[in-house]
Amino acid sequence: MKNLSKYRDLGILIIRLGIGAMMLTHGVPKLLGGVDTWEKVGSSMGIFGIHFLPVVWGFLAAATETVGSILLILGLWTRPACLLLAFTMLVALSKHLAQGDGLSGASHAIEFFCVYLGLLFIGPGKYSVDKR
Dump pLDDT digits (tens) for 6-53: 999 999 999 999 999 999 999 999 999 999 999 999 999 999 999 999
Where in the sequence is the domain holding 79, given as residue range(s)?
9-25+61-122
pLDDT at 51: 95
Look at residue 3 and tell me if it is in a domain: no
Sequence-distant (≥ 6) Cβ neighbours of residue 68 within 8 angstroms: 23, 27, 81, 82, 84, 85, 88
Look at residue 52 and tell me if it is in a domain: no
What's the residue count for the chain? 132
Predicted confidence band of residue 126 (pLDDT cuts 50, 70, 90): very high
Look at residue 42 and tell me if it is in a domain: no
Per the structure, the count of domains in the chain is 1
pLDDT at 130: 84
Predicted confidence band of residue 132 (pLDDT cuts 50, 70, 90): low
Dump pLDDT digits (tens) for 56-108: 999 999 999 999 999 999 999 999 999 999 999 999 999 999 999 999 999 99
pTM of the model: 0.92
pLDDT at 2: 80
| DSSP secondary structure, 44-78, as one string | GGGGGT--S-HHHHHHHHHHHHHHHHHHHHHTSSH
Q: Is the Cβ–Cβ distance between 33 and 62 less than 8 Å?
A: yes
